[in-house]
Amino acid sequence: ASIGTIKVAQTLIARTEGDLYDAKVHDPLPLIRDACIQESNKRIHGYARASRAVVIRLRQAIVATNEEIKAMNRVRNAMEKSLDHARKDLTLNVHCTYIRQSRPAREKSPTDGADVSLNYEYVQLEMQKK
């Protein structure tokens, strides 16, 4: 690559750029083509931007839904635990009532109020269970 060949290449480049400029000035097709390309690119960029916004909103909705699911699972677990306790209490209440009913007559006292208390507790536990 000598200096002469570099100068020849530079003149060719300058002449080609000049020809391209003249073609754009006199020939409207490249301008229309460029305008179509720019318009297409604008629409593509707008669509991509809108698609990214939709993806972001969907991700936020997924995160919110997952948080709701976690909260509902915690509530469900607490409810199951409470229901288990109510069932155990009901079983114990029925057992205590059976024991009190099967005791001898001499031990039964109508004024002690334990039977009434057990019946009241049974009704309350049944309402909690529902």
Give per-residue pLDDT as tens, 39-83: 999 999 999 999 999 999 999 999 999 999 999 999 999 999 988
What does the DSSP 8-state code read for residue 103?
A: S
pLDDT (average), residues 7-24 = 83
Work out the average pLDDT over 97-115. 73
C-alpha 58/C-alpha 65 separation (Å) is: 10
DSSP string, 15-58: HHHHHHHHHHHH-HHHHHHHHHHHHHHHHHHHHHHHHHHHHHHH
Cα separation of 118 and 125, whole Å?
10
Tell me what the mean pLDDT of segment 104-129 comes to: 75
Query: For the residues 96-113, what does the mean pLDDT come to?
Result: 74
| 97 close to 118: Cβ distance less than 8 angstroms | yes
> Looking at residue 1, what is its pLDDT?
63
Q: What is the pLDDT of residue 30?
A: 65
Question: Any idea what DSSP says for residue 107?
Answer: G
